[in-house]
Amino acid sequence: MAEQKATTSVLYEETRIFEPSRDLVENSNVMQWMKKKGFKSEREMRAWTGQHYIQFWAEMAETYADWFEPWAQVLEWKPPYARWYVGAKCNVAYNAVDRHAKGARKDKVAYIFVPEPVDQPTIKITYSKLYDRVNRFAAGLKSLGVVKGDRVSIYMPMIPETAVAMLACAKIGAIHSVVFSGFSAGGLNSRILDAESKVVVTTDGFFRRGKPLPLKPNVDEATSNTPSVQNVVVVKRAGIDVPMKKGRDIWYHELIGLKKPDDWVTDPPDIPALEAEPMDSEDRLFILYTSGTTGKPKGIEHVHGGYCVTPAQTLAWVFDIKEDDIWWCTADVGWITGHSYVIYGPLCLGATSILYEGSPDYPDFGRWFKIVEENKVSVFYTAPTAIRMFMKAGEEWPKKYDLSSLRLLGTVGEPINPEAWIWYRKFFGNDKCQIMDTWWQTETGCFLISPLPITPLKPGSPTFPLPGFNIDIYDEDANPVSPGSGGNIISMTPWPSMLRAFYRDPERYNKEYWSTYWDIRPGTYLAGDKATKDKDGYFTIQGRIDDVLKVAGHRISNAEVESALVSHPKVAEAAVIGKPDEVKGEVIVAFVILKTGVEPADDLKPVLAKHVRSVLGPVAYPEVVYFVNDVPKTRSGKIMRRVIKAKALGNPVGDISALANPESVDAIPLIK
Residues of the shown chain interacting with ligand PRX in the complex, contacts defined by CB under 6 A? 290, 336-337, 412-415, 437-442, 462, 527-529, 541, 544, 636
- Give the shortest CB-529-to-ligand PRX separation in angstroms: 5
- Sequence-distant (6+) residues with CB within 8 A of 524 are 474, 478, 490, 491, 492, 514, 516, 517, 518
Return phi, psi of residue 667, to 5°. -80, -5
442 neighbors 290 (Cβ within 8 angstroms): yes
Of 256 and 466, which has the nearer Cβ to ligand PRX?
466
> Burial level of 266, CB count in 10 A (0-12/13-18/19+)?
exposed
In angstroms, what is the minimal distance from the CB of 415 to ligand PRX? 4
Give the nearest distance from C-beta 439 to ligand PRX in angstroms: 4
Kindly give, in sequence order, each residue whose CB lies less than 8 Å from that of residue 660, ignoring residues fewer than 6 positions away.
Answer: 182, 633, 634, 635, 637
Min. distance of Cβ 329 from ligand PRX in angstroms?
11
Q: How many whole angstroms separate alpha carbon 121 and alpha carbon 310?
A: 34
**Closer to ligand PRX by Cβ: residue 160 or 460:** 460
Closest approach, Cβ 528 to ligand PRX, in A, equals 6
In whole angstroms, how far apart are CA 56 and each of 44, 310, 496? 14, 11, 11
The span from the CA of 93 to the CA of 188, in Å, is: 25
Nearest-approach distance from CB 118 to ligand PRX, in angstroms: 30
Query: What are the distances in angstroms from CA 438 to CA 207, 383, 412, 413?
Result: 30, 10, 5, 8
Q: What is the β-pairing status of strands 501-502 and 89-90?
A: unpaired
Beta carbon of residue 250, minimum distance to ligand PRX (angstroms, whole number): 32
**Rg, C-alpha atoms of the chain:** 24
Task: Tell me which amino acid residue 84 is.
Answer: W
Which residues have CB under 8 Å from 27's CB, separation 6+?
none
- In whole angstroms, the minimum distance from the beta carbon of 360 to ligand PRX comes to 17
Of the pair 378, 463, the CB lying nearest ligand PRX is at 463
Rounded CA-CA distance 485/533 in Å is 7
Specify the residue, 388 or 544, whose C-beta has the smaller distance to ligand PRX. Answer: 544
Residue number with CB closer to ligand PRX (203 or 557): 557
CA distance 338 to 320: 18
Q: Which is nearer to ligand PRX, 29 or 441 (CB)?
A: 441
* Number of neighbours of residue 88 by Cβ within 10 angstroms: 24
Based on CB atoms, which residue is closest to ligand PRX, 261 or 528? 528
User: For the chain, what's the residue count?
Assistant: 672
Number of H helices, E strands in the chain: 23, 30
Q: Is 390 helix (H, G, I), strand (E, B) or coil?
A: helix
Calpha distance 332→157 (Å, rounded): 8
User: What is the CA angle 473-543-79, rounded to 5?
Assistant: 45
Cis previous bond, 80, omega within 30? yes
* Least distance to ligand PRX, CB of residue 88, Å: 26
State the minimum distance, in angstroms, from the CB of residue 540 to ligand PRX. Answer: 9
Cis peptide, bond prior to residue 79, ω within 30 of zero: no
Least CB distance from residue 444 to ligand PRX, whole Å? 8
What is the smallest separation between the CB atom of 340 and ligand PRX, expressed in angstroms? 8
Q: Which residues pair with 586 in a beta bridge?
A: 580
Q: How far is the CB of 15 from ligand PRX (least distance, A)?
A: 20
| Strand spans (E) along 52-185 | 73-78, 81-86, 89-90, 109-114, 123-126, 151-155, 175-178
Residue closer to ligand PRX (CB basis): 218 or 444: 444
Closer CB to ligand PRX, 178 or 527, in the complex: 527
How far apart, in Å, do the first and last CA atoms of the chain sit?
A: 29
Instruction: Compute the least distance from the CB of residue 427 to ligand PRX, in Å.
Output: 20
> Which of residues 129 and 544 has its CB atom nearest to ligand PRX in the complex?
544
CB of 210 to ligand PRX, least distance (A): 28
C-alpha 508 chain-centroid distance? 22
Distance CA(90)–CA(281), nearest Å, equals 6
Q: Which is nearer to ligand PRX, 177 or 223 (CB)?
A: 177
Nearer to ligand PRX, 126 or 310 (CB): 310
Separation of alpha carbons 57 and 468, rounded Å: 7
Select 116 or 414, whichever has its Cβ closest to ligand PRX. Answer: 414
Nearest-CB residue to ligand PRX?
A: 442
AA identity, residue 188 = L
Can you give 551-591 as a three-state secondary structure string? ECCEEEEHHHHHHHHHCCCCEEEEEEEEEEECCCEEEEEEE
Which is nearer to ligand PRX, 318 or 412 (by Cβ)?
412
344 vs 439, beta carbon nearer ligand PRX: 439
* Residue 544 C-beta: closest distance to ligand PRX, Å: 5
Measured from the CB atom, is 115 or 496 closer to ligand PRX? 496
